[in-house]
Amino acid sequence: MYVYILFSERLLKYYVGQTSDIEKRLIRHNKGYVKSTKRGIPWELIYKIEVLNRSEALILELKIKKRGAKRYIDNHFGV
């Protein structure tokens, strides 16, 4: 399982999600199959972290969403 952060240059927004197949999921986002990200195409994968299971993925995803994706990235990577 992966937790990932996408960025849309078009919207200047981040999207946080979790999946077991990161490549397939990114394709779905960029083909407009995901309603919540359809307007931001193209999405760029800027962060991914592998976790052991879905339970851990959901916990980390929620933590990032509460903190804010940009703030989370800035705090962990000094960007």
pLDDT of residue 40: 96
> 35-64, pLDDT tens digit by residue?
999 999 999 999 999 999 999 999 999 999
Task: Quote the pLDDT of residue 76.
Answer: 80
**Given CA atoms 23, 27, 29, 33 in this order, what sign does their dihedral have?**
negative
Q: Which of 71, 77, 54 is nearest to 3 (CA)?
A: 54
Would the pLDDT of 79 be above 60?
A: no
Identify how many contiguous H helices and E strands the chain contains and give both numbers.
Answer: 3, 3
Domain ranges of the chain: 2-77
User: Over the chain, what is the mean pLDDT?
Assistant: 94
C-alpha span between 15 and 47 (Å, rounded): 11
What is the percent of the chain where pLDDT is above 70? Answer: 97
**pLDDT in the model for residue 17:** 97
Taking domain 2-77, whether its CATH number is 2.30.110.10 is answered by: no
